[in-house]
Structure 1
Amino acid sequence: MPAGGALLVGYRLAMRALAPVAPWVLRRRLARGKEDPERMGEKLGRPSLPRPEGPLVWMHAVGVGEVLALPALAEALRARRPELEVLITSTSLTSARALAANMPEGARHQFLPLDCPRFARAFLDHWRPDLSVWAERDVWPVLIGETRARGIPLALINGRMNAASLRAKAPARRFFAAVYGQFDHIGVQDAGTAAHFAALGVRAQVTGALKTAARPLADFPQARAINVAALAGRRLWLAASTHPGDEAVVIAAHKALLQHDPEACLIVAPRLPARAPEVLDALKAAGIAATLLSEDGRLPRPPGPAHVVGRVGQMGLWYRLADAAFVGGSLAPVGGHNPNEPALLDCAILHGPNVANFAEDYAALHAAGAAREVRDAESLAEALRDSSLAAQIAPARAVAGRGAQALQAEAARLLAMLEARA
């Protein structure tokens, strides 16, 4: 048996041995607020929804950005094959809640079962997918192997692997080659990623970044109308998907902005909503009156100088209301978050220098004069005061719309795989 195959067998045996402790692990996570008590069984291979009739495409992603790219792909598939049903799986509460507000017609969500043979078999026995599509940075060897063993076509889409990820995988090169080798199609975002897959002995096709083709985030028209009335013409800007390394700069910039515009209003949406109380304390410690926003996203009357978002799924509301957004994870050493979300919703884009996760997207935006880099509180406050910032909005929307062609091409490839099986 090849070394990679032997490692897969060893992994499978290890995961089978861990299955008995899985409920205990989930209960520990539940106690920390990281699981849904009503749906925890889904992670043990006990689906909570019936399988729909007809052909079913199963799509999986973990990160919020990856999950939110899937509704547009589901719609592209159903536009060509309206009878298709779609199952979208994810692993985290955050991604599930973000998807809940953006679920396309003909789709439903479940949590992915833990990567143990018993749970994987139960999941596949119930759902019986006709095509499996992974938009994922990590691999789940048991689920992938069980899917392959049933003759279900496998596709990995929107792939990205940077140099650091390749270095981490290199010691287990044969293992990862054996896992990735089970996919019938691997589509990646850029040539660098394709080269990194090749270094593992895996062929990948450059298909472009599908996140740029994601649908605009869901709107909340009633809450938006109420907030527009509450603001009464006051300026609102958004710090989106922030991390601790971003927030000190954001808060200092808002203090500076308030000296020029005392009516300015800041909304901070931390990447992890559970950090909202921490962000609230930081604003108050800086002398800025702040409150935690209500669950429905309505601003108080009158709005204060700053408010903090404590739940997921509302970003479509705040991008539509904001004149400008600082996209977080870009001053913090995280690699940046998705600039296409504000671009599609007519919100001027500001960001820090750390944007490796979306390097090509930001390069395209800068080439079009559609984004601005800031490095500290002074440059962020200066950008927010610049009256020419609004000129970024139209070219940003044009750049963000370029991914539609790549999405349609990927949808055609996936449908060809589905039809080849029929």
Structure 2
Amino acid sequence: MALGLYRGLSTLLAPALRVRLAWRGRAEPGYRQALGERFGRYGEPPPAPGAVWLHAVSLGETRAAEPLIEALRAEDPALRLILSHGTATGRAAGAALLRPGDRQVWLPWDAPGPVRRFLAWARPRCGLLMETEVWPGLLAEAQAQGLPVWLLNARLSERSLRRGRRFDALLRPAHRALAGALAQTPEDAARLQAAGVRRVEALGNLKFELRPEPALLARGRAWAAASRLPLLLFASSREGEEAALLAAWQARAASLAGRLRLLVVPRHPQRFDDVAALLAPLGPLSRRSAWGAEGLPPPEAAQAPVWLGDSLGEMAAYYSAAAAGGLALLGGSFAPLGGQNLIEAAACGCPLLMGPHTFNFAAAAESACAAGAAERLPDLPAALDRALALLDEPAAREARAVAGPPWVAGRQAIAQSMARRVLASPPGDKT
């Protein structure tokens, strides 16, 4: 009954999705691309049966999928990929992962018609959902068709497990419909089993396998040289956090002047202009988007107290810039939002200060702190004070920087195991 009500509601709400996509498309034109795919209508001829379908909803999941896709191709050189997404940033990043014969599409709205049209068009050998993407209608239809669907790099926080119990009649059958889940940690595996997944194994976090591109690291070092001041990077900041940082920064303006340049990289591109306006009280602002194709800050950027990282796909460069004598603050961790991926900062050798809210990456956060690659603070004022203290303790700051890369390197070789598990799963395998 719960699934029937869910399907009926999804069908009724489909027109509202068109309105939402049109609204999002004003700030991010990518949302206007191929709108028919959102409803299971694909203009291109269907791919040949037997491709691997992988769903990476947004930018973080798409980046995490990179080593997995490489491992899948190594296991099966003839592999063809259907890569689906839910956000414009995910789709933009995913385009670079395609090879001839692959397809890239939007995941359809989770209503019966769109889902059936998508599966009839795609005809994959298996489905791979990244991290948390459990869609009840999609999984029910896949199960009815005998299509094995795995949840990979899977995570489930205690908070999400508790919230999910309110919809247990809908979510438990969805979890049971999965062929299996390969979890980031043993704790995630236990929670996924409690949620109803019947076959769970903890293999580790794919994000440990991401290697920063040398060109991006070099770009960041060039930015640091142009800055002339150490950079304090606010990485993947979320709504509300920039205002809190602004207040804390203004309260310490005398101590910060001439010691640090603030570099803010908002998590969501549709907020770039709003964040630029919010930070205006701190003085002139230099935007990455105005630095030209070569990406080098103009001379006047050295006079701007604030830089805005309004670009996509350059987070490694931002971390590299802050690693050269500066530090980074972890966005999403200073408000109750669960934090962001902190592994990339460590891989780039950037000392990281995080807030109290890292429940989406709890195991990685605790491990990074234990390894000395990161440090937890109660709030943004305390983080700013700690940043200033570390500037006065270069040896302590450097110790955090050098601890990051070995911590990441010691947790790699996960993608190959994941690829072998899912490709060995025969059609219809749900035991």
TM-score for the superposition, normalised by structure 2: 0.84
Within 5 Å, which residues of 2 pair with 1:169-318?
A: 169-217=164-212, 224=219, 227-228=222-223, 231=226, 233-248=228-243, 250-251=245-246, 252-253=248-249, 256=252, 259=255, 262=258, 264-285=260-281, 287-294=282-289, 296=293, 297-303=295-301, 304-318=304-318
Give the 3 Å change call, closer, same or farther, for CA 227–305 of structure 1 in structure 2: farther
1:381 aligned partner: 388
1:392 aligned partner: 400
Aligned-residue offset at 1:215: 1.9
Within 5 Å, which residues of 2 pair with 1:8-23?
A: 8-19=3-14, 22-23=17-18
Paired residues of 1:70 and 1:214 also in contact (CA < 8 A) = no
Within 5 Å, which residues of 2 pair with 1:3-402?
A: 6-19=1-14, 22-31=17-26, 33=28, 36-47=31-42, 55-100=50-95, 103=97, 105=99, 108-217=103-212, 224=219, 227-228=222-223, 231=226, 233-248=228-243, 250-251=245-246, 252-253=248-249, 256=252, 259=255, 262=258, 264-285=260-281, 287-294=282-289, 296=293, 297-303=295-301, 304-323=304-323, 324-375=327-378, 376=382, 377-388=384-395, 389-402=397-410
Counterpart Cα distance in 2 of 1:9 and 1:200: 20
Counterpart Cα distance in 1 of 2:20 and 2:330: 34
Counterpart Cα distance in 1 of 2:388 and 2:94: 33
Paired residues of 1:212 and 1:400 also in contact (CA < 8 A) = no
Q: Which amino acid aligns with 2:305?
A: P
2:412 aligned partner: 404
Aligned-residue offset at 1:347: 1.9
Aligned-residue offset at 1:416: 0.8
TM-score for the superposition, normalised by structure 1: 0.85
Give the 3 Å change call, closer, same or farther, for CA 225–317 of structure 1 in structure 2: closer
SS in 2 for 1:310: coil
Counterpart Cα distance in 2 of 1:96 and 1:310: 18
Counterpart Cα distance in 2 of 1:105 and 1:392: 39
Paired residues of 1:230 and 1:301 also in contact (CA < 8 A) = no
Give the 3 Å change call, closer, same or farther, for CA 30–246 of structure 1 in structure 2: closer
Q: May I ask how many residue pairs the two structures share in their alignment? A: 414
Aligned-residue offset at 1:62: 2.3
Q: Which runs of 4+ in 1 moved over 6 A?
A: none
Aligned-residue offset at 1:225: 7.8
Give the 3 Å change call, closer, same or farther, for CA 183–222 of structure 1 in structure 2: closer
Larger displacement relative to structure 2 (56-65 or 42-51): 42-51
Larger displacement relative to structure 2 (27-36 or 168-177): 27-36
Counterpart Cα distance in 2 of 1:320 and 1:200: 39
Paired residues of 1:223 and 1:298 also in contact (CA < 8 A) = no
* Structure 2 unpaired stretches of 5+: none
Give the 3 Å change call, closer, same or farther, for CA 88–173 of structure 1 in structure 2: same
RMSD: 3.2
Aligned-residue offset at 1:383: 2.9
Q: Which amino acid aligns with 2:312?
A: V
Q: Which amino acid aligns with 2:284?
A: A
Aligned-residue offset at 1:298: 4.0
Counterpart Cα distance in 1 of 2:48 and 2:161: 41
SS in 1 for 2:300: coil
Counterpart Cα distance in 1 of 2:28 and 2:222: 30
Aligned-residue offset at 1:43: 0.9
* Structure 1 unpaired stretches of 5+: 1-5
Give the 3 Å change call, closer, same or farther, for CA 221–255 of structure 1 in structure 2: farther
SS in 2 for 1:299: coil
Identity %: 30
Larger displacement relative to structure 2 (309-318 or 329-338): 309-318
TM-superposition CA deviations, 1:42-75 (whole Å, max 9, x none): 2122336555557411111324322321111111
TM-superposition CA deviations, 1:347-406 (whole Å, max 9, x none): 222212222221111221122211122342322332344312122233211222344233
Counterpart Cα distance in 1 of 2:104 and 2:250: 38
Give the 3 Å change call, closer, same or farther, for CA 163–373 of structure 1 in structure 2: closer
